[in-house]
Structures are given as C-alpha cells and as structure tokens.
Amino acid sequence: MFSFAANISMLFTELPFPERFCAAREAGFRYIEVQFPYAYPPEEVAELLKDNGLSLVLFNLPAGDWAAGERGLGADPARVEEFRAGLEQAVRYAKILHTPLLNCLAGKINPKFDAAEHRRTLLGNLGYAADFLLPHKLCLTVENVNGFDVPGFFLQRTDMILEAINEINRPNVRLQYDIYHAQRSEGEIVNTLRNNLEWIGHIQVADNPGRGWPGSGEINYRFVFAELEKVGYQGHIGLEYMPGPKAGDTAASLKNFDWRS
C-alpha cells in the first residue's frame, strides 16, 4: 500500500517554512517531501522532523538559481562540476535527514550545445551520481517536467528517462513519475504505471489544468489510485500541487481531496 507525502514547499505556504512541519503533522501526515532543504542547516531540519514525528522521503539535488528560472543541472554540459558539488551537498543532507531518495532535475537546454551533447552529459552525470550514492544506500530518481510550464526542459517525456535509466544500467536509479507533468506532455498515465512499475521510485501528483489538488481537474485520480493499489505500488505519492495563496487553502484542498480515505 502506498502512502501520501505532503510537499511542504508547495503546501502550507502561508506559513514560514519551519512551521510547515507542524502543520503537516497536524493535518495527519507522517511523510513529507521538499523541493530544496538547503536554505536551512541539515541539523535544524532534522530537529523539525524529529519534533513532529515526520519522515522526509525525497528532495531535489541542487538545481541552480531557481528564483532566476533555472530548473536543474543534470544535462547541462557547461555545469558538470557544479552538478557534482551539489551532489555532495545533497548526500550530506540525506544522511543527516535519513532521506532515501534524491531527485535529479535535468534542467533546460543550454543553447550553446546540441541535443547529443546534452544527452551525453545527462548519462555521464546520472552514472556518476548513481555510483556516488550507492555506498550510502541512497537511490537517485529522475523527473519528467512538461515543456508548457518549463519551456526548453530537456526531459519532458517519460520514455526519455526510461531509455537513459536502461542505458546507464545502475541498480539505484529510478523514474520519479510526476503525473501532472506527464498529463501535459504525453498522457497515457495508467498504461505508463502498468508497464513501468518496476522502474518507478516515486510518484508526484497534481491535477490539470491549474496544477490544483487531485480531483480539481481532468485527471481521474480515483481511477489512478485504484490502479496503483491493483498493481501493488509500495512507494510514496508526493502531493506537489498548488492549493492557493490564502491561509487555510491547503486544509480546504486536503478536505476536498479526502486523501486519507
């Protein structure tokens, strides 16, 4: 049986980040994910987790200047050393926070390089990262991101990620399947889940259009979740959606979603 994890980078945003841990606990969550924990010392984050009885199941590798629109380093031929330095930082956090999954964002296409150079860089970085993580018993996931929300993102389709995973052939690399992004890029949600379950290490959800709570849009999440139960998915499902800017929007969205039913 799968478990839901609140993404506290997108939920409870009316609160300062440290207060969102308590809010997630009070909402009934045992598991959370964050996009980036690096603004806070890992020891401080670990204390917040402990005080609230939470487990942090996933966070991203450093992804460049997020505020400036950067969305990852994994495929950029000009930033391999920065990728490796970020990997070391992420492992330090993961060991202190007892987080088993680190997610790699490939980032946007660098116009100075062609597609083949991006792909070679991605494969090299993924292989390097997988080998670096293995002694620490950590798993690397790789995420699909749609090109409507993030124009120029290098890995927009799941088949591109699955091909890369197959090519590097490491035991600790999996697909981080974001259903919202997949719906916008390619559809075929349930068939993808059925056909690639062994390669899926983590799932994230939001609805379309608007990236709202599951059930607010066109995706039949009751059917999707029932199918995940049927095929035996045992991982976590990250709630990475936008509930709204006002205090109470997250609580209202969770009630509408009824995520504990």
State the pLDDT at residue 247: 84
Domain membership of residue 126 as a residue range: 3-257
pLDDT in tens, 51-67: 999 999 999 999 999 99
H/E run at residue 186: none
| Residue 61: closest CA among 48, 74, 79, 80 | 74
pLDDT in tens, 69-113: 999 999 999 999 999 999 999 999 999 999 999 999 999 999 999
> Please, are residues 253 and 218 in contact by the beta-carbon 8 Å criterion?
no
Mean pLDDT, rounded, for 180-202: 97
Catalytic residues: 143, 240
Band the pLDDT of 246: cuts 50, 70, 90.
confident
State the pLDDT at residue 1: 80
pLDDT in tens, 143-182: 999 999 999 999 999 999 999 999 999 999 999 999 999 9
Question: Which residues fall within 8 angstroms of residue 173, CB to CB, at 6 or more apart?
Answer: 126, 130, 139, 140, 141, 142, 165
Beta bridge partners of 55: 31
Task: Identify the CATH number of the domain in which residue 150 sits.
Answer: 3.20.20.150
Q: Count the domains in the chain.
A: 1
State the pLDDT at residue 261: 53
- pTM exceeds 0.75 for this model: yes
For residues 172 and 106, what is the distance between their CA atoms, to the nearest angstrom? 17
